[in-house]
Amino acid sequence: MKLTERTLRIIKNADKEAEKTNKVVHPVHLLLGILLERTSVCTELNNNFPNLWDILNERAKDIKLTNDKGVSYEPFTRNIAISTKQVMENASNLMKRYKQIYLNEGHIVEAIFSSEDYSTKSIIDGLDGSRILKIVASPRDMIVSLRSYSLPDIRTNKITFRKAEQNDAISLKKFIKKEFGYGWLDSIDNGFLKDRIPIFIALDDKTILGFACFDVVRNKKGLFGPMGTTHSKRVQGIGYTLLHMCLNEMKEIGYEYAVIGEAGPLEFYEKACNAVVIPKPI
C-alpha cells in the first residue's frame, strides 16, 4: 500500500499522540494527527473547527482504560488497535474504489466516519461529520497561478505526447470508457468540437496511455481537466507531463490562472504545479 507524504506525516503524528494515552494507536489519534498536519485541507479543517482538537483530546484520554494491546501494522511504529486496522483497511478499499494508487488523508477520514465499530463511532459522536468530510474527503477545486509559470524540463522516454486530432476521437473515447466509464465523454465531445482542440494524449506506439484537457467541462474557460492515465502506467510521469502540456498552452493563450475542478489526488497537484486548494465557504 502506497501512502502520500502527508499521510505518512499524519501517521507519525498519530504515533506521538498515542504515546500520551495507552501507547496503542486508535482512530482518534489519526484524527489528532490530521489536525497536527498544518497543510492544505488539514489547515482548513483546523480553521473551520477550532475546538475540535480539545474535543478529540478529551476523548483520547478515555482510551487509557482499554485493554486492547494492538497489532503491528506498518508504517506505524506503535501497535495499532483492531479498530484502527479496520479503518486503514477500509481506507485502502476506498482508494482502490476511486481507482487511486496513493492512500491519502481523505480516505482515512471517510473510513473513520463510515465505520460501524462501536468504539470508533463513539469518538466521532456529535461531530459535524458531513462538513468535515466535505473539507477533507471530498474532491476539491484547486487553482494554479500561471503568471510566472514556465514549462518544466520533461523527459518523455519512449512515450509520445501530442495534441489530439480529430481522427483520435473514437480511440480516445474508447480508452476513456474502458478506464473511467462514461462520465467524461460529453466533455471530450466538447473538446473535439473546437477549432483548436484542447486535448493532449500520451501514446505507446498507437496505444493511448493517458489524456488531459482544458476548457471542455461545460465549455468553461480556464478550467483544467479531466485527466486520466491507464492504471497500469501510473507513477511513471505520464499525468505530470500531460498536466504541464495543458498548463503551458493555457499560459500561451493568455490565462493568468488555471482552475483544477474537483481534484482527487490533491497532493499530486500541490507538488506538480504548486496548486492551492480553494477554501470552501464556511
DSSP string of 145-174, one letter each residue:
E-TT--PPP---TT-EEEE--GGGHHHHHH
Which is it for strands 2-3 and 223-229: parallel, antiparallel or unpaired?
unpaired
**Predicted pLDDT of residue 54:** 97
**Predicted pLDDT of residue 66:** 66
CB of 21 closer than 8 Å to CB of 61? yes
**Predicted pLDDT of residue 232:** 80
CA distances (Å), 134 to each of 106, 131, 139, 259, 262, in order?
9, 5, 8, 19, 12
User: Which residue type does 211 have?
Assistant: F
CA distances (Å), 10 to each of 15, 39, 105, in order?
9, 11, 8
Helix (H, G, I), strand (E, B) or coil at 2: strand
**What SS3 string covers 174-237?**
HHHHHHHCCCCHHHHHHHHCCCCCCEEEEEECCEEEEEEEECCHHHCCCEEEEEEECHHHCCCC
Torsion angles phi and psi, residue 87, rounded to 5: -60, -45
**Predicted pLDDT of residue 131:** 96
CA distances (Å), 263 to each of 32, 224, 282, in order?
24, 10, 20
CA distance 183 to 36: 36
| pTM of the entire predicted model | 0.92
**Predicted pLDDT of residue 67:** 67
Asked if 2-138 and 143-277 have one fold, the answer is: no
Helix (H, G, I), strand (E, B) or coil at 140: strand
Helix (H, G, I), strand (E, B) or coil at 45: helix
CA distance 106 to 6: 11
Which grid coordinates are listed for 213? 484537457
Residue 75 preceded by cis peptide, ω within 30: yes
Helix axis angle, 27-36 to 5-18, nearest 10°: 120
Query: Which CATH fold would you assign to the domain 143-277?
Result: Aminopeptidase (3.40.630)
User: Which residue type does 242 have?
Assistant: L
Q: Does domain 2-138 have CATH number 1.10.1780.10?
A: yes
CA distances (Å), 232 to each of 43, 171, 235, in order?
33, 18, 9
CB of 204 closer than 8 Å to CB of 193? no
Q: What is the residue extent of each domain of the chain?
A: 2-138, 143-277
**Predicted pLDDT of residue 281:** 77
**Predicted pLDDT of residue 57:** 94
Which grid coordinates are listed for 91? 481506507
**Predicted pLDDT of residue 80:** 97
**Predicted pLDDT of residue 99:** 87
User: Which residue type does 85 have?
Assistant: K
Taking the chain (282 residues) in runs of 10, the rounded mean pLDDT of each run is: 96 96 93 97 97 95 74 97 96 94 97 94 95 96 97 85 97 96 97 97 94 97 96 84 97 98 93 95 71
